Structure formats: structure tokens, C-alpha cells
Amino acid sequence: MHIIKVRAREMRRDSHAACVSGVLLLETETGQISLNVTVPAKEASHDALWLDALRQLQRLPEFRSNGRQITLADTAFDGMCAEA
């Protein structure tokens, strides 16, 4: 899977649970994948959000069973948190 764009949407900080959560939209040549991501507030960063999304992707059967690789376009993270 080649990801050409990553966009963060509906980001929110939950002070009671001490976490940041939202949706990462991963755009590919063939469509889009939407993943709900959550990271501890003290670790909240673009990298942490991406790592949670990557963890989820790697658990999908099509990646676990046949070793498909996940690649990123050089500009995939440009404007990641810019709201549409």
C-alpha cells in the first residue's frame, strides 16, 4: 500500500482520560482508509498519531498474512493537521 496523503480530522483532547484522539485519513491511489487513533496526551504528536495508525494497519489480515509493505509518499505528512 502506498499512502500519498495523511490527514488528521476531529482531533480532541480528553482531559479526564488524559489522551488525544481523532481520525487519520490515509489516502492511497485506490481510495481512502479511515482509522480512529488515540495517544496519551503527554505523548501527543504527529509521530505518535501516525504510529498508532501504523500499528492498526499492521494488524489487518491483508498485511499480516502476506507481508504487504506500507510505503509513504515524500509529502504524505505535509499539512497533516490542516483542517479542510
Q: Is residue 81 part of a domain?
A: no
17 falls in which pLDDT band (50, 70, 90)?
confident
Q: Is residue 84 part of a domain?
A: no
Q: Is residue 22 part of a domain?
A: yes
User: Mean pLDDT, to the nearest integer, of 51-69?
Assistant: 83
Comparing 59 with 84, the larger pLDDT belongs to 59
Q: Is residue 82 part of a domain?
A: no
How is residue 71 annotated by DSSP?
Answer: E
Region of 7 please: left (phi>0), alpha (psi -120 to 50) or beta. Answer: beta
Q: Is residue 29 part of a domain?
A: yes
Q: What pLDDT, on a 0 to 100 scale, did the predictor assign at position 80?
A: 81
How many domains in the chain? 1
Q: Is residue 79 part of a domain?
A: no
67's grid cell? 507481508
Q: Is residue 78 part of a domain?
A: no
pTM for this predicted structure: 0.80
Q: What pLDDT, on a 0 to 100 scale, did the predictor assign at position 83?
A: 61
| Residues of the domain holding 51 | 2-72
- Considering the chain, what percentage of its residues have pLDDT values greater than 90? 38
